[in-house]
Amino acid sequence: MTAPHRAAVLGSPIAHSLSPALHRAGYAALGMDGWSYDRYEIDEAGLEAFVTGLDAAWAGLSLTMPLKRAILPLLDTVSDGAQAVGAVNTVVFGPDGRRHGDNTDVPGLLNALRERGVERVESAAVLGAGATASSALAALGQICDGEVTVYVRSAERAAEMRELGEKLGVAVGVADWADGVRALAGPLTVSTTPAGATDAFAAQLTGTPGVLFDVLYHPWPTALAGACLERGGTVLGGLDLLVHQAVLQFERFTGVERGPLAEMRAAGEAALAS
C-alpha cells in the first residue's frame, strides 16, 4: 500500500479558498489516489503549533493571508525569489522534515500574463502594497521596461515599496491611492487589494483601459474588472493567478514535472460557478 501524502492551504479566512478543488482535481487527473489536500483556518498565533505538529505524511503547504510573512521564522531554507519579496506562499517538506519556503505567486503571475499574450510592457502600475503587491512588483520587474508606479494609502507603505524596488532593481514610483484610476490608462495594472477597495475607480474610469490583472476571484467580476471589460479592456482575474501558481505548487509538492493545468483550471471554474 502506498504511503499517504498530505498537503493543505492555511489562512484566515480560508472557507472561500479554491485551492482544495484545484489540487484535488490535479490528483484525480493523474490518478494519484494516495494524495489528499485540505484547508485549515489558521491565523498567525496558531501557525507555529500547526506547522511543528505535522508528521512525515506531509508534502507541502499553501499559504494565504495573513501567513505569507509570518511563516518565514519557521523555515529552514527560503528560495531567493521568496526572500527577495519577503513573502512565502509555498512550503515544501523534505524527506528529512526540513521546511523550504518558496513563492509561486511571482512566476504564476508571469505565466498567466504570458498566456494572455502580455510579454513586455513599457510601464506598469500596482494598486496596493501588501504581500501580493510585493510579488507583483517582483514579477513586473521582469517584463517592464520602464517605471512601475505603486498606488498606496500611507507614507509608510510608500517607503516600503521604494525600498523593495531598490532591493529588486526595479524603478518604482509612488502615487497617492486617491489617484489610482490613473493607473488604468497605462498598459498594465495589477490590483492586489481586498474586495471593494477599488470600486470607486470603476465609476471614475474613462476611455479604453489597458490590461487589468485583478487578483481577486470572489466576488467576480469586481466592479473595476467589470468596468474595464465594458470599455473594451483586457482583464485577468484571481483565478488566472490562482491556477498558475497552484500548478507550480502541485509540481513542487508531488515531484511531477508538468501539472495538469487544464484540469485544475476547469475545477476552479466549476467551483466558482457552483
Positions marked active-site: 68
Q: Cis peptide before 73, with omega less than 30 degrees from 0?
A: no
71 vs 49: CA distance, rounded Å:
12
29 vs 158: CA distance, rounded Å:
44
Helix 105-115 with 238-254: angle, nearest 10 deg: 120
Helix 131-140 with 105-115: angle, nearest 10 deg: 50
